[in-house]
Amino acid sequence: MNESYLLIEESKQLKGVLKVSGAKNAALPLMAATILTEEPCIIRNVPNLLDIKHMIELLTDMGKKIHQDKNTLYIEGPIKNKETREDIVRRMRASVLVMGPLIAKYKSGKVSMPGGCSIGARPIDQHLKAAKRMGVDIEIEQGFINLKASILNPIDFTFDVITVTGTENVLCMLSTIEEESILRNVAIEPEVINLVEALKQMGVDINIDEENRVATIKGSKYLKGFDIEVIPDRIEAGTFMVLAVATNSSVKIENVNVYHLKSIVDNLKLAGANVDILSKDSVLVSSKNSVINPLNIETSEYPGFPTDMQAQFMSLLSVAKGESSIVENIFENRFQHAQELARMGACITIHSKTAFVKGVERLKGAEVFSTDLRASAGLVIAGLMAEGKSIIRNIYHLDRGYDHIEQKLEKIGAKIKRVNA
């Protein structure tokens, strides 16, 4: 684990352009889906992140040939090893996404059981429940899931809860079954739709009724390669938008998909921000004045307010004029950043799954510790708002989801630098 930390000083009235990278949570399932074919697959706009490096390592270990040219990945060839290495899985939970493609293509696989993480357990029971319905024999032993099937059957399956990785995995599982399957209560996040576009290119007939959360799928025995662009990272975009408001700045944010940002934009406007949509892929965000209005936010599945944005909004609301509330409906134990913000002078009380945030006049710099990926982003925002200097430790979390964030922010005038201890 690297021991780098971020040194941040109060930075207000930043000005310039921030360019958003490709979405990690879209790139990872696309990379896993290359297992479905031996033909060449091209994935463009791939972010330069730790989780991407881990997925490249995992797929290479399984036998895939991977060439990287800047932000483009070229992946081809068959799988020779149908077992995922436990050490890689422990570093990256999203490696469970190889399970669906392995079942579809090879009708077998041995996948290391993913653990929980600091924001709570993320069970894969829905993935396994659907696989069993398809006729897959599942055996769990010594931390591994052994999967085997002689034939895969079409299903009419309803997810008990909306799950993004569950939807992605099961769509891949069904991609080689030629009869029609129906999935109900599916996730409709933009990252899921990005995967659906790739599967369509491969020859899978998929129709998503987003309003009713129903997917119909007709697979193909032989799947082709694909050439696709990873969608812009809506969470990085949202992070930059909050940061602009929090630092009383005027920042143009490019390489976004404005249609993916509606709940974030709506809440920023309620908080008192100016959000000017310049085009379908750029926005200008600024503060109307230095006053931030309190908000009442509840996280929910897309198109609702994303759980991955609540830490950033908590930092912003810690200096709002009044009391805000944030209800976390997706993950348990996702308020660990509250105690770190408290070290900077924030006034936050947690009751069950609700955080009550009473705005203070200003935050003070402190040494704080990242507890998860999005908490790290919230602390970066807090550090830029706070009087004096702040040190943010455990930033390996940040590197999992933000592509050189300190370099991007330095370019618009932020006093932030990475220190290699």
Active site residues: 117
User: Read out DSSP for 282-321?
Assistant: EEEEEESSS-----EEEB-STTSB-GGGHHHHHHHHTTSS
Please give the angle made by the CA atoms of 218, 231 and 55, to the nearest 5 degrees. Answer: 80
Task: Please give the Cα distance from 397 to 20 (Å, whole number).
Answer: 18
Residue 232 DSSP code: B
Task: Please give the Cα distance from 376 to 356 (Å, whole number).
Answer: 20
Residue 312 CA, distance from chain mean position: 14
**The pair of three-digit structure tokens given for residue 37, joined into one six-digit string:** 């074919």
Instruction: Give the closest residue to 377 by CA, choosing from 349, 350, 341, 413.
Output: 341
Residue 364 DSSP code: B
Q: Which amino acid is at 199?
A: L
Task: Please give the Cα distance from 309 to 312 (Å, whole number).
Answer: 6
Residue 398: φ, ψ to 5°: -60, -40
Residue 224 near residue 39, CB atoms below 8 Å: yes
Point out which residues pair with 277 in neighbouring strands.
283
